[in-house]
Amino acid sequence: MNSLLWLMLLAGLAVATALATAQGGGFVLLVIPPWRIELSIAAFVVVVMLLMVLGFFVTRLTVGTLSLPTTIRALRLGRRRARAREAVLQAVAAFFDGHYARAEQAAAQALQQGESVGMCAVVAARAAHAQRRFEARDTYLGTLHSMLPADRVLQLTTRADLLLDERRNQEALEVLRQAREIAPRSQSVRRLTLRAQIVLRQWDKVLGTLQALEKANAIDGPQADAVRRQAQQELLTRSGQDEKSLRDFWKTLASSEKLDRALALAAARRFQALGCLDDARSILEQALEHQWDSELADLYGQCPSAQVLHQIERAELWLQQHSHDASLLLSLGRLCLHQSLWGKAQSYLEASLALESSLEGRQLLDTLLLRLRSREESGNPTGSHGRGRGGGSGLGGPGSGTDTTYRQRPLPPEFEGG
């Protein structure tokens, strides 16, 4: 478009000049001793225009000739940068393809050209690390620090990540501490810190770092839940050396966390090991009311607290909804054995074994049958601990240790008459 405008302008100027010179007989006289030149106005205008065009081209030629070295240098630099960019792409592709030697070579070539220094240094360092060439890795990271001193966090996080992979966890944590001083809100630094803390089993710090990541929405929910559950279980194990520490730790947990199946199971086992059966019973009851789990139901029967009759009634209520849960039936059998309810214990144990055979269930049933046979042989066929399905006639007998106010619930119909 610009060329067309200039062409139209020149054409118009030529027409105007021709019209102006056609109306008069003027001339131009040039005197250059000893010469004398006389030209018409039209001829003079044509000569001037030709001289201007010639001068323009001569000027362009002169400028182009003088700038030729600079142009050649720029062209060569452009070619080198194009090759360097191609080397960067090749390095990245080779690294992710697993060709680490090729990736290191291409990244080092691009690094020498000064192209994408940060990316090339990191790719070269990681490729060298993958080949177990740790000295070369440290050299590349040093190059990154010298060429990009302002990008200190990139160098520190890369070094920390590679140190963690090398299992130099304490050194990695120290490097991450330096990175946090520079960028306290960096999510990559926090994620690497969480990884180091997990490996070093610093569970109390893990929860704090995890909370910061969740607040910034920098970690997936399922992953955060798994890490939190692991940290809480480990802290629970550490706190479970005495009753007071264990109770204090359990109070620090949120109500929703106390209902977690794995955490409730671990806590109940710790309380059980310390002999705090009432605490274990309470934890298991809350967790089972929230979400049914056969493993929790199995442990419930192993924690006969001071309120065994209450436990039996609670378990029988659960049995109405989970009548085919062998673990619940086995727990009921244990609780009835603990309360000397031989008839109901036998019924529950037999029902549990009918659904799922277990070594413990068979051992408990065999022990119960041997005890009953022993009593029959001693001349007390029913005595204070009758083995009938209801077992009601012997609940309050001497030495039974039971509460006569307990009202036994009938077994579900599918378990009657077995």
Where does CATH 1.25.40.10 sit in the chain?
150-219
pLDDT per residue as tens digits for the range 70-84: 888 888 888 888 888
The whole-number pLDDT of residue 233 equals 87
User: How far separated are the first and last CA of the chain, in Å rounded?
Assistant: 103
Residue 213: closest CA among 181, 189, 190:
190
* CA 192 – CA 174 distance, rounded (Å): 12
Tell me the backbone φ, ψ of residue 417, rounded to 5 degrees: 75, 15
DSSP string for residues in 193-208: HHHHHHHTT-HHHHHH
H helical segments located in 240-276: 243-252, 255-258, 261-273
| Series of mean pLDDT values for 10-residue runs along the chain (418 residues) | 78 71 69 81 78 89 88 85 87 92 92 86 93 92 86 91 93 93 92 94 91 91 89 85 87 89 91 91 93 94 90 93 93 92 91 91 91 78 43 33 41 46
Question: Are 397 and 383 spatial neighbours (Cβ–Cβ below 8 Å)?
Answer: yes
* CA 25 – CA 345 distance, rounded (Å): 140
The whole-number pLDDT of residue 292 equals 94
Topology of 150-219 in CATH?
1.25.40
Instruction: Give the three-class secondary structure for 31.
Output: strand
Instruction: Give the three-class secondary structure for 340.
Output: coil
Instruction: Give the three-class secondary structure for 71.
Output: helix
Q: Which two tokens stand for residue 220?
A: 């997936």
Structurally, at CATH architecture level, domain 308-418 sits in: Alpha Horseshoe (1.25)
* CA 107 – CA 95 distance, rounded (Å): 10
The whole-number pLDDT of residue 375 equals 81
Q: Is the pTM of this model over 0.85?
A: no
By CB neighbour count within 10 A (0-12 exposed, 13-18 middle, 19+ buried), where does 194 fall?
Answer: buried
Instruction: State the DSSP H helix or E strand holding residue 29, giving kind and residue range, or none if neither.
Output: strand 27-32
Cβ contacts of residue 177 below 8 Å, gap of 6+?
A: none
The whole-number pLDDT of residue 387 equals 41
